Amino acid sequence: MPLGAIDEPQTSRGALAAAALRCFGRGALDLVLPPQCLACAKPVTEDGALCVACWGGLKPIDRPFCERLGTPFAADFGPGLLSPAAIARPPAFDRMRAVARFDGTARELVHRLKYADGAHLARPLGRMMARAGHELLGPDVTLVPVPLHWRRLWRRRFNQSALLAREIARLSGARLVPEAVVRVKPTRPQVGLTAAQRAENLAGAFRVADGVALKGVRIVLVDDVVTTGSTIDRLTRLLRRAGARSVDALVFAMVVNDG
């Protein structure tokens, strides 16, 4: 009998034994450290999940929405529509997509990611972003995370946007260039600033890193949350000057003004 005919059952038995051992290990770990809700840390049935209450507090952004800004519409008036805001003040970027409104559970998840040593949240949040922004993604796309100034990076120890972009790249096959853009000037939060103050705050804040070639490249900017959109807009203009063919944006949450 060929030697392979003898080895095959042994190999199968070994694979089954290894799989059983992994299942046993996961079960034993769940007994000691049961899976917790991503947002509130209450026990849930599986890793990377939300409890019923937190799931109910997540406000996803699904179609119908503005094709440029990604902001939701109250009613479906047909495909391809733009919001009044996008028509009155067209953004520099081509399209923006978000998982959810920056409210309730989404706000809690972003805060836990950024301020509560929540780097482990980047993987499940990145999965949600990859689904929400699937039409923007592909192997021909380059992901560029919004950079932090080195002082803030030193305090936080990680760039949450880069962690999210890494997971999105893993799932979509897109190319990740985490340091394509450098933040050379610390900036204060944009919320509450006038348009003129936002422009002054961001003036000279970014530059394309030395040796990074972006001519003809399709770019998707990645960030955790967008509030006024000024930062994404400023980065888009910078990338277009560097020769980018198109610039889209993908964020986990966005501030939506219903009024």
Interval 101-129: pLDDT, tens = 999 999 999 999 999 889 999 999 999 99
In a domain, 232, yes or no: yes
In a domain, 58, yes or no: yes
In a domain, 242, yes or no: yes
In a domain, 176, yes or no: yes
- Does the pTM of the predicted model rise above 0.75? yes
Structure tokens at 170: 């893993």
In a domain, 114, yes or no: yes
In a domain, 39, yes or no: no
Query: What is the domain-level CATH number for residue 221?
Result: 3.40.50
- Its domain, for residue 143, covers 52-254
In a domain, 17, yes or no: no
In a domain, 91, yes or no: yes
pLDDT at 75: 85
The CA–CA distances, whole Å, from 246 to 106, 108, 206, 218, 220 equal 28, 32, 18, 5, 8
Structure tokens at 20: 């059983």
Number of domains into which the chain is organized:
1
Q: Give the pLDDT confidence of 25-80 residue by residue, as tens digits.
A: 444 444 556 899 999 989 998 888 999 999 999 999 999 999 999 999 988 877 78
The CA–CA distances, whole Å, from 45 to 21, 28, 118, 122 equal 20, 14, 20, 20
